[in-house]
Amino acid sequence: MNQLDALKRFTTVVADTGDFRQLAQFQPQDATTNPSLILKTVQKPDYQQILKDTVTRFHGQAPDEIMDRLLVRFGCEILSLIPGRVSTEVDARLSFDSSASVTRAERIIALYQAEGVAVDRVLIKVASTWEGIQAAGQLQRKGIHTNLTLLFSFCQAVACGQAKVQLISPFVGRIYDWYKKTAGDKWDEAANAGANDPGVKSVRQIYNHYKKFGIKTEIMGASFRNVGQIQALAGCDLLTISPDLLAKLAVSEQALPRVLEPEAARALDLPAVNFDEASFRLALNEDAMATDKLAEGIRTFCADAVKLEHLLAA
């Protein structure tokens, strides 16, 4: 049994790509997208016709609506190839506007429903700002399931659990990137690998808290830099993995044991934790890594959304 098949025994494997033609070989349950992945994909020759078709069909509509229609087109193509759910992201430029995020999410869902896609097959991705988390809570109460992205800190995860969102995506690799860059020449790769990887440790803390206190929100580790990070989180609810790392898992036949166990987490002696808006903002501010990476992630997604709009206009 290869490591990819072994992982699927206790973790839902999700493909992190907009390149839906790569999906069949890995047979993931779900798939995730974001504007950066779609921007990268539509510039490939095999996908430029989708871009042209979308622009031609909806010429004259507002740029943000054409962009949403392109995202939904990719989502529908992906859903035709997988049995589960696709994650589609709300424009990152709305990350600090709860009301606008809700409105945009409802439009994305309406576009999917117009294509015959059931609401349960779509996760709306929203940035894990305080405003994004509150928007997600509202969407959940409306029956729209959400995926809280750009999540780097424990306080973000706790607030998401309180809002009863469907799923969170803690960014393992970007946490690792920050600590490695900050350490500079003092970074010891071997000492910070596997269970000691700072991104892995962050997800384990969230996992233990959720399982200990019966929080139903699903945990989906994301943004991996190497297979060691994936192996160290075997047993997490879901893991969203890029095609290149899926390929590496698929060719390895080394044993892949389960690492995270809900029963073990429930046996831990952990304090109950809750956040209101003021304590959330303070806790996030005190976490330099999370503050830096959240701001950087939003800026990057905003920039790529603008590039995608320009590409559509051109």
CATH number for the domain that contains residue 243: 3.20.20.70
- Please answer whether residues 134 and 150 qualify as being in contact, where contact means their C-beta atoms are separated by less than 8 angstroms: no
**18 pLDDT exceeds 90?**
no
Catalytic residue list contains 8: no
User: Alpha-carbon distance 289 to 156, whole Å?
Assistant: 13
Domain that holds residue 97: 3-313
- State phi, psi for 135 to the nearest 5 degrees: -60, -40
User: Alpha-carbon distance 226 to 208, whole Å?
Assistant: 23
What are the Cα distances from residue 235, in Å, to 100, 149, 258, 261? 36, 20, 5, 6
If one counts the domains in the chain, the total is: 1
pLDDT digits (tens, 9 = 90+) for 263-300: 999 999 999 999 999 999 999 999 999 999 999 999 99
User: Alpha-carbon distance 159 to 41, whole Å?
Assistant: 33
User: Alpha-carbon distance 302 to 52, whole Å?
Assistant: 22
- Provide the token pair at 30: 């779900």
The amino acid sitting at 256 is L
pLDDT digits (tens, 9 = 90+) for 134-173: 999 999 999 999 999 999 999 999 999 999 999 999 999 9
What is this structure's pTM? 0.95
Share of the chain above pLDDT 90, in %: 93
CB atoms within 10 A of CB 37: 18
pLDDT for 35 equals 82
CA atoms within 13 A on the CB side of 172: 33
Q: Which of 8, 40, 44, 125 is catalytic?
A: 125
